[in-house]
Amino acid sequence: MRRQPPISPHLPAALLLAAALAFLLAPQAGAAQDPPAAAAPTASDACLKCHAPIQTALKRKLKHAAVDMGCDSCHINHRDKQAAQTKTEHYLTGKQSELCAGCHDYKDKAIAAAHKGQPFETAECSGCHDPHASDRPKLIAAQAHGPFDARQCDSCHKAPKDGKIALTAASTSELCFTCHADLQERYTKAKSKHTLLSSDINTCTDCHDPHATNQARALKRPVTTLCTTCHSGLTEEKKFVHEPVKGSCAICHDAHGSEHSKNLHAPVETLCLECHNTKTAPRLFDGKETTLFSGKVTLPPQSYSEIKTIEITKGRFGHPTGNHPVFADAKDGKPGFNCLTCHLPHAANGSLQLLVTEEPTTMTLCNKCHK
């Protein structure tokens, strides 16, 4: 295997600077005031006790040498009340690009060449690199997008203009569609589109990273975290959260668009009965992978350990009482109804049955229609 020489001849000086900075930024309350390099092992162990996913990540093939210098080479210790006052993203000691510059010399020719002359110096380094560890060389994040993985930077980038990136297409979505025409076709036809795709704004990159991430489908974050960054309040502070909502928003919604309102995978009746129908529910527990909505969604085996089911007779009767209609079409000026007339899809306060009244008893609900 090719061994790289130390990152740059400037490293020692840069390291000293980083150490000095880290020292200045270090919590003042701690008894030990050793430079971070010396205090590192124990300090990092303490961090890892609470941050198990990072500990797991550090088992990957390539661990960033900076991690051995201590978590505090990049993070403030948020357990220290005073230090935690500095509200930075991910408790970083500074802007990513400046933070990394503490140890990496951006004037080094090798580093510029590695970035194909693109202006990486001010970029979010974690847009392509995992700052902790990776199975890929040069700490490139686990899921590298096709053309990035092939290092075809010029399929998307022209030479930078005034130190800024320049794309080969007029907008980001146009760029994406040059290779993902199938998706363009699918969603242009869709009756219900996610708002981010209905506008002229370049929004593929609100959810996807064109380079590399740790999530499947080049997503910037795990699906549910991604969706709730913009759609907060659906489940927060609710006492009861619907099981599939805890799993993934994409179980019921198509992220881009579909034929059904709110870009759902199916009309409400079919959507809910895909899981709650007495006849078909057992397949959710048979220990095999289950596909829903004609293959649009795949659930891993044993996604759920139980499910409450309802028995539907004659296509639309049988719940919540013996002969009760579950669906009704709008008729003679009377509005129709479906599962959502009585149930909330995401979460409820106090009502285990996800009732729209959000109350433990059903009386107020019945009274809405039966007076």
* Contacting ligand HEC within 268-327 (CB under 6 A): 268-269, 271-276, 304, 306-308, 310, 319-326
Q: How far is the CB of 232 from ligand HEC (least distance, A)?
A: 9
Q: Is it true that the peptide bond before 320 is cis, omega within 30 degrees of 0?
A: yes
Q: Which one, of 154, 177, 157, 152, lies nearest residue 167 by Cα?
A: 157
Asked if 88 is part of the footprint of ligand HEC (rule: CB under 6 A), the reply reads no
Q: How far is CA 300 from the centre of its chain?
A: 18
Q: Is 266 in the site for ligand HEC (CB under 6 A)?
A: no
Among 26, 67, 83, 190, binds ligand HEC (CB under 6 A): 67
Which of 88, 215, 278, 362 contacts ligand HEC by CB under 6 A?
Answer: 362
Selected binder of ligand HEC within 166, 181, 201, 352 (CB under 6 A): 352
Please give the structure tokens belonging to residue 186: 């699918």
Q: Phi-psi category of 162—alpha, beta or left, where left has phi over 0 and alpha has psi -120 to 50? A: left
Of 108, 96, 99, the residue nearest 7 (C-alpha): 108
Q: Which is nearer to ligand HEC, 10 or 346 (CB)?
A: 346
Chain mean position to CA 149: 21
Applying CB under 6 A, what is the total number of residues that bind ligand HEC? 159
Q: Show the tokens assigned to 363.
A: 């009386």
Pick out residues in 151-190 that bind ligand HEC (CB under 6 A).
151-153, 155-157, 165, 167, 172-173, 175-176, 178-180, 183
Among 39, 54, 112, 142, binds ligand HEC (CB under 6 A): 54
**Contacts with ligand HEC, 7-26, as mask; x by CB under 6 A:** x-------x--x--------
Min separation Cβ 82 and ligand HEC, Å:
14
Least Å distance, CB 315 to ligand HEC, is 11
- What CA–CA distance (Å, rounded) separates 301 from 57? 25
Applying CB under 6 A, among 25, 88, 234, 259 the residue interacting with ligand HEC is: 234
Residue with tokens 């959000």: 358
Q: Is 199 in the site for ligand HEC (CB under 6 A)?
A: no
Contact 15, 103 (CB under 8 A): yes
Report in angstroms how near the CB of residue 26 gets to ligand HEC at its nearest: 10
Report in angstroms how near the CB of residue 287 gets to ligand HEC at its nearest.
16
Q: Does 195 bind ligand HEC (CB under 6 A)?
A: yes
Which residues in 127-146 contact ligand HEC (CB under 6 A)?
A: 127-129, 131-132, 137-140, 145-146
- The answer to whether the CB of 63 falls within 8 A of the CB of 81 is no
Instruction: Say how far apart CA 19 and CA 22 lie, in whole Å.
Output: 5
Q: Which two tokens stand for residue 190?
A: 């869709």
Q: Which of 244, 257, 260, 357 binds ligand HEC (CB under 6 A)?
A: 244
CA atoms 261, 264, 265, 266: torsion sign: negative
Distance of CA 348 to the CA centre of its chain: 24
